[in-house]
Structure 1
C-alpha cells in the first residue's frame, strides 16, 4: 500500500486539532489502498496545542507523529521540518484550520496517479470573507512578483498541495535559511496542476497572520526571488544624480545671464530632505539583501525540536 504523509503546521490551534483529524479520517475512507501518516508541527504554541497533540498521538501511535519546537520559528521552518521528517510516497502540505478542503486529496491523488502530474496544488478563485485590503495587497503582490521575477507564481495558490517523493526530495535540497515556500514550490519545476475552489472560512479559532506579518512575508518573497529592488535603487540614484546635475547647470546659467539668485531656505531644506530620503530608501533595499546574506552566513538551524513522538 502507498502512503501519504500529511504535514500540518500548528500555532495556537488547540481547538482545531481534533476537528481536523476527524475530518481527514472521514476523507481517508474514500481513498483505497492508501495509508496516512500525520506529521503535526507545533510551532512554539502558547496554548494547549501540544497537549492536544500528545493526546491524539497516544490514541493513534502508529500513524500520528508530532514535533514540538522550542519556540516559534515560523511557518516556513515548520514546513521544512515536516518535509524532512516525511516518509510517504506522496506528501501533502495542509493547514489545520480546514481552509484547505481535505476532500480535495481525492482529486489530487487522481491527478498524480492517473494524469501523470508531479504536483497537484490548489488555487482559490475567490477571497470571499477576507478583508478587502488584504485581498487588494495580495493581488498587487502577485502582479508585482510576476513582473520582476523569473519564477512564476500563480495568483491565489495555497501551500496546500500533494507532491511526489521526487519533488519533496528536490525541495529539501533547497537548504536556504530565508525560505519562501510558494516560490520554492514553483522554482523546483516539475509538472504541476492546480485545482480551483471557493474560499473556505476557518472552522474555529483565529488566524495568527496579521496584515503586517503578511506584508513582511511578501517582502521576503520579493527579496528571495528577485534582484529588481536593487536595480530600482540604482536607477533611483542615477535619476536623482541627473536631476541634481541639471539643477546645477540651471543655477550656473541663471547666474551668468540674469545675475543673483533667489533666496529660499525652505526649498533648500526640502531638497536636502528629499535627496536624503532617496538615499535612505536605497540603503534600506540594499540592507534587506545584506541582512539575508548575514543570516545565511551564520548557518543557524532553521528550527530546534524540543519534543517529538
Structure 2
C-alpha cells in the first residue's frame, strides 16, 4: 500500500504544472545563498504562481551543498542538482535547463547582482508573446572601470565578427519560454558559450534594461584570466574571423617580405649599398616566426574544439539530485539520462 501511495505521489510530481522555474548556478556561494533564497521566494510568493527553484551546485568546496540540501528538505519547490565536480558555469546552466520543468525559465546568478524584484516585469514581457527576455545592464555597480570598459568593448567586437547577433551588455540573466528551453536542449556541443547559444536559436526576443547591483556577499569567482578565457571561448565558438585574420596577416607579411627583398636588390644594384645581412635576416625571421606561431596557435584552438567534440563526452555528470528532501532515483529521472553506480556514489550520464 505504501508503495502504491509513493508511486502516485511521484506521478503527481511528474505531471504537476509548474509555471515558472528559476535556475541558479552556485559555486562556493554559502555566504549569500540564504539571502538569495529569501529574496527570490518573497517575490514569488507575491506572484502566487506554481514555481520551482533549480539550484545547481557546480562542485562547490564550501558549505554550499549542505545548505542546498537543507533548502531542498525544507521546501518542496527547491530542486537541488549536484554536479560530480566543477564543470564550469556553462555546464551548470545546461544542467539547470535540463532539470527545469516550468513553462517559463529564468536564469539568474546567486550573488543578487541580478535583482529578483525584476521577475514580474520579465514575466509580463514573456506573456506579451516573446520567447526570450534579455536583461541589458544599464549600469554595473561594484565593478572596476576596466572591467566595465572591457566587457562593453568585447560584446561589440563579438557582434562585429560573429554570424549571430548577440545582444550587447547582457549576461545570463534572462527568461526563456518552454519553446526556447527545448530548442536549447537540441544543441549538443561540448564547448558551450551560453550567451551565444541563447542568441543562436533566433526566437522572438525582448530586452529590458536594468541597473546591476553589487554582490550581496562574498567575492566574485571570475578573475581577469577566467573572463579572458570565456571571451576567447565566445569568439572561437561563434566566429572563424580569427582564422581569416591570421590568413590576412600572413598575406601582408609575405607582401612585406617581397617588397623588402626588392628594396635590398635595388639598393645593391643601383645605389651600390652593401647588403645588410645579419640585421635584416634576424628581423625577417622574427617577424615570420611570430606570424607562424600565432597562426598555428589559432588553428590549433579550432582543431582542439573539433577534437573535444569528437570525443562525445557529456557536458556534465551528476552526483545527485534532491527533490522534497529525497534523492532522485532512476524511476524519476528524465528520459535522456542514464544512472551509473560507482562505489557508494551514483552518477548520471547525459546522452
Same fold? TM cut 0.5: yes
1:149-179 Cα shifts (integer Å, max 9, x gaps): 1211222112111111001000111111000
Following superposition, the deviation at residue 12 of structure 1 comes to 0.1
What stretches of structure 2 of length at least 5 have no aligned partner? 1-16, 323-351
Moved over 6 A (4+): none
Instruction: Determine whether 1:16 maps to 2:32.
Output: yes
User: Which of 229, 253, 267 lines up with 2:266 in the alignment?
Assistant: 253
Match of 1:301 among 308, 314, 332: 314
- In the other structure, the counterpart of 1:195 is 208
- Decide which of 212, 233, 236 is 2:249's aligned counterpart: 236
The answer to whether structure 1 residue 43 and structure 2 residue 58 are counterparts is yes
> How many Å apart are 1:197 and its aligned residue?
1.0
Q: Which moves more between the two structures, 255-264 or 212-221?
A: 255-264
| CA distance, structure 1, for counterparts of residue 192 and residue 284 of structure 2 | 39
| Alignment counterpart, residue 69 of structure 1, candidates 51, 71, 83 | 83
Q: Which residue of 2 aligns with 1:105?
A: 119
After superposing the two structures, state which structure 1 stretch, 153-162 or 3-12, moved more: 153-162
Which one of the candidate residues 174, 196, 204 is aligned to 2:187? 174
Alignment of 1:142-181 (within 5 A): 142-181=155-194
Q: Does the aligned pair in 1 maintain the 2:36–2:112 contact within 8 Å?
A: yes
SS of structure 2 residue aligned to 1:193: strand
Task: Say which SS state the counterpart of residue 308 (structure 1) adopts.
Answer: strand
Kindly state the Cα deviation for residue 25 of structure 1 after the two structures are TM-superposed: 1.0
In the alignment, structure 1 segments of 5+ residues that lack a partner are none
Residue 84 of structure 1: which of 73, 77, 98 is its match?
98
Once the two structures are TM-superposed, the CA of residue 264 in structure 1 deviates from its matched residue by 5.1
CA contact (8 A) 2:18 2:52 kept: no
How big is the shift at 1:291? 1.0
Partner of 2:67: 52
Q: 1:29 aligns with which of 41, 45, 48?
A: 45
TM-score by length of 1: 0.95
Matched length: 306
The answer to whether 1:185 aligns with 2:198 is yes
Contact kept, 8 Å, 1:240 with 1:275, in 2: the verdict is yes
- Residue 112 of structure 1 and its aligned partner are, at CA, apart by 1.4
Q: Could you state the TM-score of these two structures normalised by the residue count of structure 2?
A: 0.84
1:258 CA displacement: 3.1
Give how far 1:68 is off. 1.1
Q: Distance in 2 between matches of 1:35 and 1:135?
A: 37
Task: State how far apart, in whole Å, the 2-side matches of 1:73 and 1:199 are.
Answer: 26
Match of 2:286 in 1: 273
Tell me the secondary structure at the aligned position of residue 22 of structure 2. Answer: strand
Question: 1:182 & 1:87 partners in 2: Cα distance?
Answer: 21
Cα drift, residue 139 of structure 1: 1.4
